[in-house]
Amino acid sequence: MSNQNKATLSVDLNSFIYGVSRRNFQNAPELTKIGIGLLKNFPAARDAVLEYFAMVFHDAVNISLNQEYEPDSNNNGSLESVSMIGPELCNLGESWAPFIAPWCINLIMDIATEKANLPNATLQNTDPIRILLDITTQNLTLLNSEERAKCIDMMLGCRACSWAVGLVGRAEPALVAPRALALAPDAARAVLAHLANHPPALYHVRAALVDLFQEAIREDGNPEKKREVIPYLLNLASKSDIVLKALTQDIENTLTDEVVARLQTVPCRGEAVSPAALVALLMRCDARCYLLLLRHAQLNTFCRHLLEQLLQKLEYENLFAESKIPLLISCAEEINILREKLLVGNRLEQYSIARILILVSYNFPSEFVSTISYLLQHSRSDTTLALLVRIISGTSNMHIPNDEALDTERYQEFVKTGVEYALRDAMIADTQIKKCFIENVPNDQKTFLHHLCLNIITLLRWENSGRVPSLRSRSIARAVESSVYRLGAVLRERACELRERPAATALSLPDMPTCHALAQVLDRIDLTGTKSPPPSVEAILKVVQATVKYFFRCLLEDDVMQKVRGVQTACGLFRKVCGYSKVARNAALRDLLEAALFRYERVFTPSQDRQDRQAAADDLLLYMNRKHGPITQLTQSHTSVFHAGVIGKGARKHSADDAPPTDILTRDNELLMGALMACMQEGNSGVVEGATSVSLLLVELISPDVMYNGLPWPDEDFTKQVSIERELYTRVCVERCGVARSCLRRCGRARPALCLSAALLRAAAASLLHRLRAHLDRHTQSSELSQELAALKELLTLMTLGQLLPHPLSHMLELAPELTATETVQVLRDCLWNYTRDHVPTPALFACDATGLHWRDPSTCKPPAQYTDTLRLIIQKRISKLGHMYPIMFLNLEKET
């Protein structure tokens, strides 16, 4: 060293000693600069310089805590010096680290001990402490493992600076965590709490805890240490959330069945392993710990008792509104796992999870709604449905109500929302592509909506049985009744034949099982308003439309038993809805008749007739006549003679197959009649009113226009000159439609409804009269004459059944087979047509007795002789063959006259 350097160093040393001896921190920045120079150039002054730096840090900490200085004042020399010291001590290198690191640690310990009465957060947030921690951290990283461990042990030895250990130890968490666990629980908790605030350090904390735990359960370990480790860990976890989180992270991999079996052999004692302490600890854990306890409770008696105590403690603590239990919060976050376990777990797991779900549902209403929706969709057994009932009733009855009515209605709204969500989600699930529908679809696979309906049907059956006390409030039925409109819309959509069926989805499955289930749900709820508020008119009409579509889809079923069951369900719905609402009855009757006459005519048509209808397009009479020539035909030319035929059926065929079927009471037809009768109210008055609506609808749907649809029968010449084409069209429509003929018979039984179908009867009578006369004029016995006579028999049967023809005119039905064509024309004109022309068949002619039965009194409706003389003369003329009818028809009539 040169003489000049020695002189400079001597001056700096004297200035430093003189300045430090005065203990004046106003010139601290100058002394700090001198001290840094001495520290680099004169290592022998190391202790003195570091001691002065310690004094500067102490003064800077006091100034920072008092906060009585101004940023530009002269009393912040220590703070300026500290900002100078930090970078210099961090950059001294590895050779200085063994001296700087212990000095920093001792300084931190001194300051922490001196300021032990201050909160740790206040102390560690000061600038001098942050700088000091940075110096310590930087120099610790430059030490070897042995020196670093000694420094950490120095800090762990001071209880007042546990916060510093946690902050400094973030650089070496793997070194700090195991040493912290060697401290007492309180000291270890303080260190680990600060250490684990650094997220990457949590892994090392957990590794240290697991290592300590594995060491305790080793078979060749120290028995005394085993006895102390488990209580120590539990005690530490009870005091530290960080330790508890580290212990319970991936707990399924830590506490395997083998580890639990070994754990039972480890001797443990103390309050930390008592059931009460374990229950308190479990209440702070997450849902995975609860599921692990459930798994071991099946075979372990202690775990089973611990589980029961935990559930009782949770139920008790949950009574206090201000309590926030971490276990319940975690269960709410992991509720999907709990619901899945509820479906597939054993009996103990199912009932224990149900109790937890009750507590979660009570604290989190949104989870209550989603739980109802989930279980309604995914339950596949009565056991899980029973648990759903228990969850609903337990959640509703758990609270202490201020206003019982309001609270009950509030939970009813939750159930209602859950049912709505379940219906919506099931419909969405049916439209989504599922793996099970791509690889292998089982034969008994059901749509998700079908499963939902089956579950609702089971719950409704339990409600209606009255054996389940928790369902006596009809919570499920009321919730389903609030979704009547949506159920009707879904049934209408699924019962529609023409709809999209995406592949690999549940919509590609058969429709009818789902339709049957939806119809049964609607059949089991109250739609009449007797047990709950009645549905809206819009909802009722939607149900009616859906039931009509469902009814006709049932008629298309191949399985007879399924068809009959479905029709019975549909009739039950018609009876229930139409008995409550006249609007629904009118809508149901109209939809049924319109569908039967126009959209589903093929259902009621014999197979042979269906084939003829399909071939008619190639055999139309109009097209056949056009084949005779493209030019306009001359009058009186042989080429202008059209081929005779039946409109819509082509050339006339002289075969028995061309005759309309005589047996109109087919199975499907009878089922339709049963549905129509179901739409009518009970009692004679309801049947008459419904039959009247049917009669009016028949006229409206069959008649080609609105003219001449009244009750009066005009003169015979009027029909021949004005309305004969209309009458022929109407008669053909009625004869070809077995449904219309069956409905007319039903109206004839429900007197006086048949009177309102006078337009249809008049059309048949007018066409018969003129066509029989045409056959008579040709002096030939056409094969069609038998068809006309069959039609005449049916007309007379209807009018007699409806009491439109009084005695003795009602016996024309018995005479008709024995009459010739001439006699038939005379009887039709003189007896039937003229009588109904002069005595219009109106409902006013029918009186109602005490039983509600409408009938015509024979004593007041005797026909005058002018309407019966033709019959009398015909019988007298053919007395040998028809004489047996004379006393029946005229003997009593003559006596009364």
pLDDT tens, residue by residue, 25-41: 656 777 778 777 777 77
pLDDT at 777 over 60: no
More confident residue, 773 or 501: 501
- Helices 46-66 and 77-90: crossing angle in degrees, nearest 10, is 130
Task: Give the pLDDT score at 672.
Answer: 92
Mean pLDDT for 594-604 is 87
Q: Which amino acid is at 361?
A: S
pLDDT band for position 78 (cuts 50, 70, 90): confident
Pairing of the two strands 650-651 and 645-646: antiparallel
Task: Give the pLDDT score at 105.
Answer: 83
Mean pLDDT for 483-511 is 89
pLDDT of 738-763, one tens digit each?
899 999 999 998 889 999 999 999 99
More confident residue, 443 or 397: 397
pLDDT band for position 428 (cuts 50, 70, 90): very high
CA atoms within a 13 Å half-sphere pointing along the CA-CB vector of 538? 5
pLDDT at 610 over 50: no
Mean pLDDT for 560-575 is 93
Mean pLDDT for 548-567 is 92
Of all residues in the chain, the percent with pLDDT exceeding 70 is 81
Mean pLDDT for 846-870 is 82
Mean pLDDT for 56-60 is 83
More confident residue, 851 or 509: 509
Mean pLDDT for 820-824 is 82
- The continuous run of DSSP H or E covering 854 comes out as strand 854-855
Q: Which amino acid is at 885?
A: M
Q: Poorest-confidence range of 393-407, 450-464, 497-511, 610-624?
A: 610-624
pLDDT band for position 442 (cuts 50, 70, 90): low
pLDDT at 816 over 70: yes
pLDDT band for position 337 (cuts 50, 70, 90): very high
pLDDT at 834 over 70: yes
Pairing of the two strands 847-848 and 645-646: unpaired
Q: Poorest-confidence range of 70-74, 124-128, 459-463, 473-477?
A: 70-74
pLDDT at 397 over 50: yes
pLDDT of 679-693, one tens digit each?
987 666 778 888 999
Task: Give the pLDDT score at 523.
Answer: 94
DSSP for 594-657, please give it: HIIIIISGGGGS-HHHHHHHHHGGGS-HHHHHHTT-SSPPPTT-GGGPPPPEETTTEE---SGG
Task: Give the pLDDT score at 823.
Answer: 84
Whole-number Å distance between alpha carbons of 565 and 710: 40
Mean pLDDT for 327-343 is 93
Contact of 584 with 535, CB cutoff 8 Å: no
Helix (H, G, I), strand (E, B) or coil at 855: strand
pLDDT band for position 659 (cuts 50, 70, 90): very low
- Give the alpha-carbon dihedral of 373, 377, 383, 389, to 10 degrees: 30
Task: Give the pLDDT score at 785.
Answer: 72
More confident residue, 401 or 577: 577
Whole-number Å distance between alpha carbons of 193 and 162: 9
Whole-number Å distance between alpha carbons of 885 and 893: 13
Place of tokens 């005119």: 809
Task: Using alpha carbons only, give the angle 728, 732, 735 rounded to the nearest 5 degrees.
Answer: 135
More confident residue, 650 or 543: 543
Which two structure tokens, joined as six digits, stand for 492?
């209408």
Of 619, 688, 676, 605, the C-alpha closest to 653 is 619
Mean pLDDT for 104-115 is 84
pLDDT band for position 212 (cuts 50, 70, 90): confident
Task: Give the pLDDT score at 9.
Answer: 64
pLDDT at 89 over 80: yes
pLDDT at 824 over 70: yes
Task: Give the pLDDT score at 291.
Answer: 92
Task: Give the pLDDT score at 825.
Answer: 87
Whole-number Å distance between alpha carbons of 735 and 727: 12
pLDDT at 550 over 70: yes
Task: Give the pLDDT score at 459.
Answer: 96
pLDDT of 225-261, one tens digit each?
656 777 877 887 887 777 788 788 878 777 877 777 7
pLDDT of 853-864, one tens digit each?
888 877 778 888
Task: Give the pLDDT score at 18.
Answer: 64
pLDDT at 219 over 90: no
Of all residues in the chain, the percent with pLDDT exceeding 90 is 29
Angular region, 518: left φ>0, alpha ψ -120 to 50, beta rest: alpha
pTM of the predicted structure, to 2 decimals: 0.78
pLDDT band for position 45 (cuts 50, 70, 90): confident
Residue 466 burial (10 A CB sphere; 0-12, 13-18, 19+): exposed
Whole-number Å distance between alpha carbons of 466 and 461: 9
Of 77, 81, 90, the C-alpha closest to 34 is 81
Which two structure tokens, joined as six digits, stand for 521?
């749900």
Task: Give the pLDDT score at 769.
Answer: 85
Task: Give the pLDDT score at 330.
Answer: 93
For the chain, the maximum distance between any two Cα atoms, rounded to a whole number of angstroms, is 173
Helix (H, G, I), strand (E, B) or coil at 848: strand
pLDDT band for position 377 (cuts 50, 70, 90): very high
Task: Give the pLDDT score at 617.
Answer: 42
Whole-number Å distance between alpha carbons of 177 and 156: 11
Task: Give the pLDDT score at 327.
Answer: 93
Mean pLDDT for 715-744 is 86
CA 766, 769, 772, 777 torsion-angle sign: negative
Task: Give the pLDDT score at 393.
Answer: 92
Which two structure tokens, joined as six digits, stand for 752?
């006086």
**Residues 6+ away with beta carbon under 8 Å from 774:** none
pLDDT of 6-17, one tens digit each?
566 676 666 777
Whole-number Å distance between alpha carbons of 3 and 15: 18
More confident residue, 515 or 163: 515
Which two structure tokens, joined as six digits, stand for 99?
């001296």
Task: Give the pLDDT score at 620.
Answer: 53
Task: Give the pLDDT score at 654.
Answer: 44
Task: Give the pLDDT score at 814.
Answer: 87
Q: What is the DSSP letter of 781?
A: -
Q: What values do phi and psi take at 9, rounded to 5?
A: -65, -35
Task: Give the pLDDT score at 892.
Answer: 64
Task: Give the pLDDT score at 477.
Answer: 93
Q: Which amino acid is at 550?
A: Y
**Residues 6+ away with beta carbon under 8 Å from 72:** none
Angular region, 130: left φ>0, alpha ψ -120 to 50, beta rest: alpha
435: Cα separation from own chain's centroid: 21
More confident residue, 587 or 215: 587
What mean pLDDT is reported for the chain? Answer: 81
Of 514, 538, 367, the C-alpha closest to 453 is 514
pLDDT band for position 72 (cuts 50, 70, 90): very low
pLDDT at 358 over 90: yes
Which two structure tokens, joined as six digits, stand for 602?
């093929």
Q: Poorest-confidence range of 499-508, 527-536, 705-714, 770-779?
A: 770-779
Contact of 450 with 514, CB cutoff 8 Å: yes
Mean pLDDT for 76-100 is 82
